[in-house]
Structure 1
Amino acid sequence: VLSAMPTFALTVLQIPKKLLKDIDKCRRKFLWKQAEEITGASCKVNWPTVCTPTMHGGLGIPDLERFSRALRLRWLWIAWT
C-alpha cells in the first residue's frame, strides 16, 4: 500500500524529489520501526539494497524516483507511437 498509493500520482505527475524523499522516509520508517522515529543505526539493510528486485537479493520495494521516470517515459512512448 505504501508503494501503490504514490504510484497513482507518479503515472502522470512529475513529483518533486523532496516529496519523493519524504515518501521514502515514511516507507523506511514503516518497514524498520513502525511508529517510532528512525535513525540510520536502526535500519537493517541500506535503502538501495531494499529497492533491488528479490531475484537480486533485495526486498523488491520500488525506487520511486526511477519508477516515476519509467512510468512517464512509458506514456511518452505510447503518445509517440
Structure 2
Amino acid sequence: MRSAAEKTWQPSSVPCVTATPKKEAHGRTRTLPSFLEALAAWIDDADGWYGNTGRELPPGGDWTFFARALQAATMYE
C-alpha cells in the first residue's frame, strides 16, 4: 500500500538530465555527456558572465557559483 506522500508526489519542473537522449521542447537532444560539456564550457566562460552582470568571480568558487554553473548548463550550448 502506498503512503499519502507517494500518492500526491508530482514530478519536479526542474529539467532532468539522463544518460538516455531526451528531446527538449525546442528540439535539442540532451544527454549526460552534452550536459557535462555545457557545464565545462560555462565554467570556462564564467568570468564573462560575472563581468557582464557586474559581479565579481569568486576566486576559489563557492556554492553559489556551483549552483549557477549547474543551472546555466541546462541552457548553455
Structure (1 or 2) with the larger CA radius of gyration = 2
Whether TM exceeds 0.5 here: the answer is no
* TM-score (ref. length: structure 2): 0.32
Greater strand share, 1 or 2? 2
Greater helix share, 1 or 2? 1
* TM-score (ref. length: structure 1): 0.31
The structure, 1 or 2, with the larger RCO (C-alpha pairs under 8 Å, 6+ apart) is 1
